[in-house]
Amino acid sequence: MALPYMEAVVGFMILMYFFETYLDLRQHAAYKLPTLPKTLEGVISQEKFEKSRAYSLDKSRFHFMHEFVSILMDSAILLFGILPWFWKKSGEFLVLAGLNVENEILHTLAFLAGVMIWSQITDLPFSLYSTFVIEARHGFNKQTVWLFFWDIIKGIFLSVIIGPPIVAAIIIIVQKGGPYLAIYLWGFMFVLSLVMMTLFPILIAPLFNKFTPLPDGELREKIEKLASSLMFPLKKLFVVDGSTRSSHSNAYMYGFFKNKRIVLYDTLIQQCKTEEVVAVIAHELGHWKLNHTMYSFIAVQILTFLQFGGYTLVRNSSDLFRSFGFDTQPVLIGLIIFQHTVIPLQHLVSFALNLVSRSFEFQADAFAKNLGYASELRGGLVKLQEENLSAMNTDPWYSAYHYSHPPLVERLAAIDKSDKKED
């Protein structure tokens, strides 16, 4: 008797939906609290707290609706055999187009095209509401409807250009991989990740945002001096026009070996004082100096290899494919089904990675503090929390499960604790 793989997957998806909804309800209750946490009293203004509370509650209500619709759709897609139906219809489309339906690469690309169209249609109402209602209501959205749809068009264009060669390569590797399939798949994805990490900031990101060198001045001098003191091989320092789409702020770095670049959002420069921006960069440089980026990259590579190893064990299981409604065993469908069957492990891994990430954030804060940026880092973190209207009250269970960054209360407490130890 064949095992009910599909029913087990749907059952676990629904179980996780109820568990995560319970956590969401706990967090929603935290959003409703009418007062700031004691450690933030006098630090965060009452006006910003009220705005943050309203923003968080709006996003929370939207999240409940979005997740409910998502679990209904995802469960229906599996239970009513929508995936095998899509696969069959994509084959019929190839026949109508006069193409070879026996060519698995063409069949897979036709299937993915249908899935992409479906995803765009079903996601669009939620994206529009989130951007032009919630984000606009709270003063964050800066993009026009035209820019919104132009970004979607560019994203689709990139998918059409980049996707087919990658899909074709994966199918060929699986078809010819033999006993070393997991190694070949991992090797391909490893090289692909390096290529994308190199090309994304140079060719893809500029399609969506304008990157300009940070003008000469006090901020540039201080960042360059800090980078030099840490022997960080800073080659370029950019400002990105994040304000064309949103007033949310951020900063990041990228690049390999001795070719590093730092990118500051223009909103970050507008919202924070010079020393606070430098303190935020000191935190980011702490991640680099403490090898957090490398550790994370290695962890992802190990997990990717293990996933491909698991896939090779089940890729020829006719019972698994039949359970999801397929009488053939296409490569891409096998990967999709395998991803669904390891959802329980993915949740555990995600939780573990969040624990590690929060630990890294505390370490990077301590690194910036040890460089003498304690008060500036405090100021920068508070300013970012205020300007982004981030949640001030957080439920401990919710944050432990979901947050990759510690809540502000915990970060400030850690910095204060370090100060007290030094005193």
Catalytic residues, by residue number, are 284, 365
Q: How far is Cα of residue 363 from the mean position of the Cα atoms in its chain?
A: 21
C-alpha 77/C-alpha 94 separation (Å) is 22
- Backbone phi, then psi, for 239, in 5-degree steps? -115, 130
Nearest-CA neighbor of 364 among 418, 314, 311, 305?
A: 418
Place of tokens 């095998």: 84
Cα Rg of the chain, angstroms: 24
C-alpha 198/C-alpha 203 separation (Å) is 9
Residue 282 · residue 377 · CB < 8 Å: yes
DSSP three-state, residue 237: strand
The single-letter code of the amino acid at 254 is Y
Residue 319 · residue 4 · CB < 8 Å: no
Q: DSSP string covering 300-343, please? A: HHHHHHHHHHHHHHHTT-HHHHHHTT-SS--HHHHHHHHHHHTH
Residue 27 · residue 60 · CB < 8 Å: yes
Nearest-CA neighbor of 117 among 151, 90, 78, 144?
A: 90
Residue 91 · residue 101 · CB < 8 Å: yes
C-alpha 184/C-alpha 206 separation (Å) is 32
Nearest-CA neighbor of 214 among 228, 245, 235?
A: 235
Residue 19 · residue 360 · CB < 8 Å: no
